[in-house]
Each structure stands twice: as structure tokens, then as C-alpha cells.
Amino acid sequence: MRLCVRRCKHCAVFGVALLIVLGGNARVMGQEPDSYKLSVNVNLVVVDAAVRDRKGRSVADLGEQNFAVYEDGVRQSIRLFLHEDIPVAAGLVIDHSGSMRAKLPAVVAGARTFVQTSNPEDRLFVVNFNEKVTLGLSGAAAFTNRSQELERAISTTPAEGMTALYDALVKALERLQAGQRDRKVLLVISDGGDNASSHTLADVLKMAAHSRTMIYTIGIFEPEDPDKNPAVLRRLAETTGGEAFFPHQMDEVVATCERIAHDIRNQYTIGYVPVGAARPGTYRTIRVVAVGDADDKLSVRARSGYIAGAGGK
């Protein structure tokens, strides 16, 4: 693991107090080894970034000097730099509306692959939804990394009724706050249409902007499906730094889930203390740029911004 933490001239104390528990025999201030918590004593904004080359391949050999971060167009000084497979709290948000009935076996297979390909220390939960939203796991098993438990949580809910996608996302974002991981991810499998929610897309995007959650989406629908809404799935992903996928065949779902799991495990974590004070509640844009050592053209995917003064930046 490469870790860069430098002195912040705006802080009264020397440096940034940073504690990262990475499992094994590590134990800090009585915490359990699997807590994987990142603690800082400054108003640090943390961004997770995926980098790919011209051919779409993941780029894994960059250093801090290869990155530049801008907030509202102003370049920021990087205070934290990590490139490590840090475990995440992840929610599987699965559409169980009537149109998904024949697709659920492929969805379950994809979820199984996602879990098996993910970091073994990840902690996952399931949100199932049609016009109602339910948690697939409960009680002591609210989070798990056991693929059989997750498969059961998905497959035992019948596929029927309408689609409350936004309500499900709100429930999942709320659930993530109970996860004992700093990095948070949602994997959403749906047609993207919503015809039963009390919440709106704006509600979901606002909640996401208050957190560091990355949302990956997989759109499963037929070309003539009247309920499909790929634009919503793209916006959820692009705004939060995730990625949207639209498999042409059901047998592509497994490979897509595997690709997403690999993407989550191969990201850079960058932190900065914003230049100047932002009025709480205002939206601040973020842009991350990466340049290869040979001036290679690289593409960076990261969240587009955050709400100032919000917890979980």
C-alpha cells in the first residue's frame, strides 16, 4: 500500500491524523481488525477514482504525481493518496417487478459471481423491490459476504407488481450508513423505469451527493420494453463515479458483474482539503485528471461532486 499524507498549512496540528486498519494483525485503539475505518481530523474530501487507458484497460501503476484534482475549477493540493484493495460495504439492489420474472436466474448468477470476485472482507446486503421495498437480510445477518445467503435473499422474493426504484435506492443509501466500511457501493440491477415510488430521482441524487457512495447499474430490458429508462441508470452511475452497463444478452450479466467487482478492487483513493470555505449545503463540483508517465491519454471516472458540509465526504 502506498500512503501519502502531508502537512496541511490550514491545520493547527502537524499533519493529518490518519488511521487505516487493513486487517491481518492490525488493531488500533481497541478496534476489531476487520473494521477498515479511515479516520481523519480535518475536513477531508475523499474521492475514489478508476483509471483506464485508450483500450479501456485498468491502469494500476500510477502515483500521486500523475493526478490533479479540481473543485469548482480550482486545483486542490492532494493530502491523501492510496492505491489499495480496501474492502467496501456494498448493497445489491434488485428489481423484482413482474417484468423481471424470467430474468432472475441470470441476476442471481451475476450476484453470485460479484460476491465471489469481490474482496473477501467486503460486507454486503440486499434490497429487493417491486412496488414494495424489502431488505433481503435481517437481524444479525444484515450484512454478509456469504454468496449462498445473498443468493437466497434475492431468489426467495417473487417477481411481480410494479417498480419503486427510487424508494429502493433511498432504502439502500440509508442502509449503507450502518456498514462498517468507509468505501460504499451500490450495484443496481433493473430496467430503470419507476412507476411506484414516493421518492424522486432528485431525492436519490441529493442523498448520494451527501455520501461517498458509488452506484453501478446494470440495465436489463428488451428494446421494445415500455418501462425501460436507461437514462436514469446512466445518470445514477455517472454522477456518483460508478458505471452503467446494458447487456445485450442475459448470459452477459455474469461477466458484467465480474467486471464491476474488479473495477471496485482497482481504484485510487484521493483526499484533499478544499481551498477556501464553502457555504454549507452548496454543491461543489469535482474533476479528477490523470496523465501517464509517457503522457498517455487516460480516462478517469470519479464522482462529479458533493454537497458541502455533508457527512461522509
Residues 127, 260: one domain?
A: yes
218 against 221, higher pLDDT: 218
List of E strands, 7-122? 19-20, 38-39, 45-52, 67-71, 74-76, 78-82, 88-95
- 3-state SS, residue 4: strand
Q: Which residue has the higher pLDDT, 313 or 99?
A: 99
CA distances from 133 to 234, 235, 273 (A): 22, 22, 38
For the ranges 22-36, 48-62, 94-108, 223-237, the lowest mean pLDDT is seen at 22-36
pLDDT band at 225 (very low <50, low <70, confident <90, very high): confident
Asked whether residue 155 is domain-assigned, the answer is yes
Q: What is the mean pLDDT of residues 41-59?
A: 89
Q: At residue 29, does pLDDT exceed 90?
A: no
Cell numbers describing residue 245: 452497463
Q: Which CATH number does the domain housing residue 184 bear?
A: 3.40.50.410
Q: Tell me the CA end-to-end span of the chain in Å, nearest whole number.
A: 22
The three-state (H, E, C) secondary structure of 27-67, written as one string: CCCCCCCCCCCEECCCCCEEEEEEEECCCCCECCCCCHHHE
Length reported for the chain: 313
Q: Domain limits at 27?
A: 3-85+266-307
- Given a cut of 90, whether residue 202 has pLDDT beyond it is yes
Report the DSSP pairing between strands 78-82 and 133-135.
Answer: unpaired
46 and 137: one domain?
no
Where does the pLDDT of residue 163 fall: very low under 50, low under 70, confident under 90, or very high at 90 and above?
very high
Claim to verify: residue 17 and residue 129 sit in the same structural domain: no
CA dihedral 270, 276, 279, 282 (to 10 degrees): -40
- For 31, other C-beta atoms within 10 Å of its C-beta total 15
Q: Do 126 and 137 form a contact (C-beta atoms < 8 A)?
A: yes
Q: What is the CATH number of the domain that holds 8?
A: 2.60.40
For the segment 275-301, what is each residue's pLDDT rounded down to a tens digit?
Answer: 987 889 999 999 999 998 776 789 999
- When pLDDT is averaged across residues 210-216 and rounded to a whole number, the result is 96
**Count of Cβ atoms closer than 10 Å to residue 14 Cβ:** 8
Q: Is residue 21 part of a domain?
A: yes
Averaged pLDDT, 165-182: 94
Candidate from 2-11, 24-33, 60-69, 165-174 with smallest mean pLDDT: 24-33
Mean pLDDT score, 204-230: 92
pLDDT digits (tens, 9 = 90+) for 86-116: 999 999 999 999 989 999 999 999 999 999 9
- Mean pLDDT over 144-169 rounds to 94
* Whether residue 19 has pLDDT greater than 50: no
CA-derived radius of gyration, the chain: 19
Domain presence at residue 312: no
Give the relative orientation of helices 201-209 and 230-240 as an angle to the nearest 10 degrees.
Answer: 10
Does some domain include residue 313? no
